[in-house]
Structure 1
Amino acid sequence: MTNPFDRAVIVGGSIGGTLAAAAVAPHFAEVVLLDKDHLPDEAVFRKGVPQGAHFHALLAAGRQAMDELLPGFAEHAFELGAARLDSALDVMRLDRVGWSPRFESTLEFLMASRPLIEKALRDQAHQLANVRYDSGVEVAGLVGADGRVTGVRLADGRNIEADLVIDASGRFSQAPEWLQELGYPAPSEEVVNAHWGYSSTFLRVPENWDPGFRALAVTPFGEGALTPEAASRAMAMWVVEGDRRWILTAQGSGGDHPPRTEEKLREFISSIGVPELDKALAEVEFPEKISMWRDTRSRLRDFAGQPDRPEGFFAIGDAWMGFNPVYGQGMTAAALEARDLRSVIEEQLTEHPKDLTGLAGRFYAKADALIKYCWNSSNTLDHRIPGVDYTVDGEPRTVDASSSEFSDRLAAYMGLDPDRYIKYRETTQLLRSPEWLGSDEVVSAVKAHWDELGRAIVPR
């Protein structure tokens, strides 16, 4: 069957771009991914992903969507060294409602470094005959006429024509400026900044090491913390590849940022006051450099609500909504958006063969609910951080942290029953619709035990 369109151009060859390419590939003779980086063949860090040296969490729904878009992704990642974890049994979580329950479950995690995930996805994408990567190419703007984007303008002066252009260039996307150059308004932009920062390094653990977990995560407690420092500090460590390569990330909010040196970083983490963590870290080595990251703003560009937009262009992934990386939603959101894209382009061409008019609007409408859910869930946590800044189009707005009172009690309620807890974990992993959390049954149960659940909101 002949593809109805000649070329799709995707700006950015990372995770969001690769998955978008897989989504649209059946409908184009050629899909070209342009990236200003030289994309490596191996699982190594690259300049264009400065956050790649830090921990990355691939939620269960993200893995599922990646496997649907690029079949064989997960098994290939495991072949490359990614680790399998039981979400309930292998993971220790300590938050404002104490340690999470641990028991055998069927909810599996894929744990790997960002470079390995990128390699596994690109390897699968290379099997699509009409998809190609063009590395070392910088896009400087869009080309358009008669209400439609018709290609991209490169920094070297060349133009590349396209029937569809997708911006997957990440959190530093220039899409608003590009649209304004064509005479369209920039989308409204919300920014939430809790002034998080973090430091990460890969660890070497002893042979046959068994600390009692394969992943451990501690969140900031705020009021009622074990130590004064724990009010704003957090950390996570887990196996990423093989058995002996782990990653450690220390996090600090409200400007309380972790340091770069090993000695100071160990002191920072020890101040959280978790003996299980202190014991584990005493037994590991820091063989690699410590990387720091400070730009943890959440930024939502309201492309879905934009009153006037050109046809033939839309943004995906962090170019649309750049999450606070602390919450580990970015890769999964990009994968789910790409799956939505695959669905809407098939609907579009079923109803209007050989016509992409209206596709951008369909895509934004389809994926907007997911985006807003992720935005609200991460910001509920950020809004409780002292000193958090919230702006809309650059204008300061008041933060409402009241929703955290209910969300804390909801988490405590979910931890009281294993079946309910797994259902809750499936929701946080975006496998299950969050609507049930707002059902009369759940809300009534939380309210009925409000004071009892409130007393559970302290570290144990």
Structure 2
Amino acid sequence: MSVFTQRFDRVVIVGGSIAGSLAAAAAAPYFREVLVLDRDQFPTTPQQRNGVPQGAHFHALLAAGRNAMDELLPGFSEQMLEMGAADLDSTADVMRLDRLGWSPRFETPLHFLMASRPLIEFVIRDRAGAIDNVTFRAGVDVVGLLGDNGAVTGVRLAGDGVDELVADLVIDASGRRAKTPEWLAALGYSAAPETLVNAHWGYASTFLRVPENWEPGFKALACVPFGEGALTPESAQRAMAMWVVEGERRWVLTVQGSAGDYPPRQVDELKAFVASIGAPELSDALQAVEFPEKIALWRDTTNRLRDFAGHGDRPENFFSIGDAWAAFNPVYGQGMTSAALQARTLAQELAEHAASGVDSLKGLADRFYGRTSELVSFCWSSSTALDYRLPGVEVTVDGEPQEVQAGSADFSDRLAAWASLDRDRYVKYRETTQLLRSNEWLQDPVVVDEIKQNWDELGQLVKVR
């Protein structure tokens, strides 16, 4: 890890989950003290904790997120694999069913990790906590910010008396329920515009026990909602995913329903919900496994964007990261990777800042938001575009309901069909969905023209086959 002779004194990070732990690793070379505060208690082993209720459900760590975590926390992948995570080929090991049917399967170098959320979070926090100047303090409730002369100067903590903690920089990584607008309002700042997109998704998840020496022909099985062209009327908004995680003969299952069509908690009813999708492969997989643990439900899936990047009325020496800035519908698997890429960008920005010899953090928040806003915008656009296709989606801006225009999927469906017809471009397409590659190549006039020229033929592929 690079060390500079000139460091700032203290950075306080609010929230010790994935985004906060990665931000701590990014900031560590440039501050004398990195203090991560969380109201929850951290387990000493990989296990579910109260502060992460969504941890019981499936989590997808995209390839770009894995790479960023390895850069910020060298040895991350090795420790994950040592503790039981699975390394999967994103095409050969995955059976994926969508509006084009079953996706092509062949070997590629495009690999990603499969593991439970508790293991991912534990390894990240374990490696971040091993950095000499990083300290995690659990059971600490941050209730506000300190400010002076246009800058945040620390945080206020809950307690009987006045408990204040000064800092050169404060980073809010407190997640979906972040109190950032209230904290900034108390310092006299106006609220950043806030957009909510809710397609009313719900999850039912559990960990499975699979038969000994089970060889189903895949390590991950996934089906997304079909919408129009669904195999059965009931399955238009339904989906499921199951894949190997750490632990002997242990897999995770998450069944999903959108547009308020929520999956049930009882095992037999859950199997019937999956069977209604109409793909025998999904039902066959569930008939072969055991359900030894309870089924957990989750419905907090609203996309929420607070436009801090475009809002000029904010203080220096403070910014939000991860879900505290932009929370995406978790069904699309972008949250952890977006947080990791934001943290890596923070590390790059701090390195440039330190190398310049500037003795102030003024402008850091502007530069951080400026360098990460394109990533956040891409994730937001792709997540909400898919949710806009679902019936009953609700959109509000600053609490005001917005008229929703149903989005057309005609071009994006044909784009996916075009990519599936050639191995090289299909790998590039998967690299794009794994956030390893910019989507600019998909907007190339040559690509667009080819799709338009073959519009009807590609349209014939957009159906279950």
TM-score w.r.t. length of structure 1: 0.98
Q: Structure 2 stretches of 5 or more lacking a match?
A: none
Residue 113 of structure 1: aligned partner = 116
CA positional deviation for 1:111: 0.3
What are the residue-to-residue correspondences of 1:22-421 with 2, within 5 Å? Answer: 22-156=25-159, 157-242=162-247, 244-421=249-426
Question: Displacement of 1:243 after TM fit?
Answer: 5.1
CA–CA separation in structure 1 for the residues paired with 2:107 and 2:321:
36
Q: d(CA) in 1 for partners of 2:255 and 2:104?
A: 23
Give the letter aligned to residue 89 of structure 1. Answer: A
Paired with 2:408 and 2:435, the residues of 1 have a C-alpha distance of: 20
Opposite residue 64 of structure 2, the aligned amino acid is A
Residues 3 and 29 of structure 1 are in contact (CA less than 8 Å); yes or no, is this contact kept in structure 2? Answer: no
What SS does the aligned partner of 2:49 have? Answer: coil
Overall identity of the aligned pairs, in %: 65
What is the distance in 2 between the residues matched to 1:242 and 1:211? 18
What is the CA distance between 1:155 and its match in structure 2? 0.9
1:390, 1:448 → 2: CA distance? Answer: 35
Instruction: Supply the AA of the counterpart residue of 2:70.
Output: D
* Match status 1:21 vs 2:24: yes
Cα distance change on mapping 1:178 and 1:362 into 2, 3 Å: same
**1:404 Cα deviation after fit:** 1.9
User: Aligned partner of 2:293: which letter?
Assistant: E
- Does the CA contact (< 8 Å) of 1:73 and 1:121 recur in 2? yes
Distance 2:230 2:274 in 1: 14
**Could you say what secondary structure the match of 2:255 adopts?**
strand
Query: Are 2:63 and 2:434, in contact at CA under 8 Å, matched by a contact in 1?
Result: yes
On the 8 A contact 1:349/1:356 being kept in 2, the answer is: no
Q: Distance in 1 between matches of 2:48 and 2:6?
A: 35
Structure 2 CA distance, aligned partners of 1:52 and 1:402? 31
Q: How far off its partner does 1:367 sit?
A: 0.2
Give the TM-score normalised by the residue count of structure 2. Answer: 0.97
Q: What residue number does 1:456 align with?
A: 461
Judging changes above 3 Å, is the alpha-carbon distance between structure 1 residues 3 and 43 closer, same or farther for their aligned structure 2 residues? farther
Q: What's the CA shift for 1:352? A: 4.9
Give the aligned residue type for 1:361: D
Size of the aligned set, in residue pairs, is 460
Counterpart of 2:452 in structure 1 is: 447
Cα-to-partner distance string for 1:29-52 (whole Å, 9 max, x where unaligned) = 100000000111110000000100
User: 1 CA distance for matches of 2:401 and 2:356?
Assistant: 44
Deviates more, 1:345-354 or 1:216-225: 345-354
Q: Kindly state the Cα deviation for residue 263 of structure 1 after the two structures are TM-superposed.
A: 1.1
Structure 2 CA distance, aligned partners of 1:288 and 1:404? 38
Deviation at 1:403, TM superposition (A): 4.4
* 2: CA distance, partners of 1:398 / 1:450: 30
- In the alignment, the residues of structure 1 paired with residue 383 and residue 274 of structure 2 have an alpha-carbon distance, to the nearest angstrom, of 23
Q: Is the 8 A contact 1:67 1:74 kept in 2?
A: yes
Structure 1 alignment gaps of length 5 or more: none
Query: Could you tell me whether the CA contact under 8 Å between 2:389 and 2:408 is conserved in 1?
Result: no
Output the CA distance in 2 between the equivalents of 1:178 and 1:404: 40
Structure 1 contact 349–355 (Cα < 8 Å) conserved: no
The answer on whether the counterparts of 1:191 and 1:299 sit within 8 Å (CA) in structure 2 is yes
Sort the Cα spacing of 1:108 and 1:95 in 2 relative to 1 into closer, same or farther, 3 A.
same
C-alpha distance in structure 2 between counterparts of 1:212 and 1:400, whole Å: 41
In 2: Cα distance, 1:354 partner to 1:45 partner: 41
In 1, are the aligned partners of 2:6 and 2:354 still within 8 Å (CA)? Answer: no
Judge conservation of contact 1:229–1:272 (CA < 8 Å) in 2. Answer: yes
The Cα shift of 1:60 comes to: 0.1
